[in-house]
Structures are given as C-alpha cells and as structure tokens.
Amino acid sequence: MGDATLIVIAVGLALSFYIAWCLGANDAANPTNYAVGSGVLTLKKALLLFALFASLGAMLQGYMVMKTIGKGVVADIDVVGTLTVMLAAGLWITLCTYKGMPISTSQSIVGAVIGYGLAIRGWVGVNWSVMWKVVLSWVASPLLAIVMTMLIYRFAALMLYRRYAGGNGRLVSFLLIASLCFSAYSFGANDVGNATGVFVTVMTKLGLSPESHVMLMLAALGSAGIMLGGFTWGYRVIRTVAFRVTRMDPYTGMAAGLGNALNVYLFTTIPYLLIGYGMPISTTHSSVGSVIGAGLVKGKGIDRFTVLLISASWLLTVPVAAALSYFFYGLACLAIG
C-alpha cells in the first residue's frame, strides 16, 4: 500500500470522525430534548443514555442507511469527492451548531453529495429518482412526527391519565426515559450513515476488506465521534430545542419522544426491507416536529420566531452545502492539476 493511499485513508477517516463529532454535537438534541426539557433528566444523564444507545443503533443497524448516502444519490464518488463532501458538510454543521441551530445533518451530507455530482457531471451527475425520494422523506418526516406525537398523547391519555393526574408520575417518567433510549438507538441507526457512508465505496475500492466489514468499522468510528460531539457541544442545540420551541412536561415529553423514535425507526427499516436501502431522513426534522406536536396537543404556546429561525436554517442547508462542495471540489481539482 503506497504512501498516497495511506494519506487518503488517514484524511478520510479523520474527516469521517469530524462529521460524526458534528453530528453528535448538533443532533444530540434530537433524542434528549424531551427528557431535559421536561425536567425528568439532567443534561449529563440524558447525554450518557444518548451516547450508549446511539452507539448500539449505529453498530447494529447503521449499515442500512450507509448505502443510500454513499451510492444512492450519485452513482459513484471518487476519492477527492469524498473528502470535499465531508469537509463542506462539516463546516456548515459546525457553524450552525455554534449558533445553536438544530440543522439537518442528513441534508448537509446529501446537499454536499449533490454539489459533487453537479461538479463532476452536471445535472445528470445526480440520481434524481433517489433524490426525490429522500426529499419526500424530509418533508414527510416532521409531519408524521407531529401526527404520531399527537396520537400517542391521546392514546396515552386514555391509558395513563388517571394515574398521572393522581400524582404518580413514575410510569410516565419511565416511559419518557425509555423513549429517549429508543430514539437514541434509532438516531444511531439512521444517522451514522451521514458521517461515514460516503467513505464506504472508496475504502472498498482500495481493497481494504469486504464491504460489510468496512461498514462495521466505520459504524464504530462514527459511534465514537457521535459520543464525543454530544458531550462537548451537544448542550448548545439541546437548549434551543428543549426550552425555546415550547415548554414540555413529562407527559408531553414522553409522547414526543416515542413519536420521534418510532418515526425515525420506521424510515430506517421499512424502506430497507422494501427497496434495499433505508431513507436517511432528517432526525432533526422529526425531533422538532415531535416537539411542535407536543405543544399543539397540549395547547402550549409555540415560539414562532424560534421555529422560523430553525426553518430558515433548514432551507439554507442543502444549497449552502452543495455550493461549498462544488467549490471545494473544483479547487481541489485545480490544486491537483
């Protein structure tokens, strides 16, 4: 194995870890904001559970979405494209995380992949049939999360209201914590592909090992990065989603957590069983949708300005990530000659 190959592998793995860190820093809010916002768990305890179950999801089912990111949106990604895609997405995620905005890492990665496809072959460089399915999942996921949260709340009200209203909130708190664990697991299964999926094809091309082994190794790397990101900058976005969108109690937090977890898990597994690859939905969209659903079903106020800022960051993500990737790829090609 030549020195150039080793350098490419080292840089690529470092960028994959960086993206995983970004993902943990920005998306740690997705499974934890319900428990933290409702006061059931402290931020530190919620992050511990997030790290554990996100790692389990990444290791056990992360392979389901890796193929979609790495191979579905474009036919193939060369080595330079892989590195520029990860760099472009990572920089945008880092900026938004610093500002406390819960953007979609799925959109960031896919947007960067689109930018690469446009740079390499123009409009035909992107598999738009797959892309439109991904876009549809981005639109559908927050709407379904709102509906699921409201249905779960109504169902739980019939089953648990008397006990909860009587002052015994232990069952609701237990279900809320269980929903955090399930949501973190679903997050790890769906989102680890955002951090490492674009590198799957390149590593296989270099002849390192069979693809299944490569994906397992990358899932482990992504898990470590997600954990570190959650514990370092995770608090920035958690504060925004947990406290600024709406105020949650344990009851609404439980319904929102279960709604989000079920939504993400279904998008990960059902498309994989039907068409061979899971849909890399925005767990951020799903999470924020669940929080909004909790506010609506309980009649609590929704901070429209915060929701407007979050929506604006969502709309900017794909074009900004695509533009950065397009620019970086062109710059890299000029530098290489």
Q: How far is CA 3 from the centre of its chain?
A: 34
pLDDT digits (tens, 9 = 90+) for 108-122: 888 998 999 999 989
Q: How far apart are CA 130 and CA 279, in angstroms?
A: 10
What beta strand segments (E) does 142-236 contain? none
Q: Comparing C-alpha atoms, which of 331, 337, 330 is closest to residue 118?
A: 330
Mean pLDDT to the nearest integer, 270-294: 78
Q: Is 312 exposed, middle or buried (0-12, 13-18, 19+ CB in 10 A)?
A: exposed
Q: What pLDDT sits at residue 166?
A: 46
For residue 2, count other CB atoms closer than 10 A to its CB: 7
pLDDT digits (tens, 9 = 90+) for 136-161: 877 888 898 899 899 988 887 777 65
Q: How far apart are CA 176 and CA 251, in angstroms?
A: 8
Q: How far apart are CA 306 and CA 160, in angstroms?
A: 32
C-alpha triplet 93, 12, 126: angle, nearest 5°? 65
Q: How far apart are CA 197 and CA 268, in angstroms?
A: 14
Average pLDDT, the chain: 81
Q: How far apart are CA 279 and CA 275, in angstroms?
A: 10
Q: How far apart are CA 33 and CA 42, in angstroms?
A: 10
Task: DSSP for 75-93, please give it.
Answer: S---HHHHHHHHHHHHHHH
Cβ pair 259, 52 in contact under 8 A: no
pTM: 0.81
Q: How far apart are CA 149 and CA 203, in angstroms?
A: 40
pLDDT digits (tens, 9 = 90+) for 200-210: 766 766 776 65
Structure tokens belonging to residue 312: 């604006």
Q: Comparing C-alpha atoms, which of 304, 296, 220 is closest to residue 259?
A: 296
Cβ pair 294, 249 in contact under 8 A: no
Q: What pLDDT sits at residue 161?
A: 57
Q: How far apart are CA 46 and CA 97, in angstroms?
A: 19
Reported as a pLDDT band with limits 50, 70 and 90, residue 90 is very high
Q: How far apart are CA 276 and CA 263, in angstroms?
A: 19
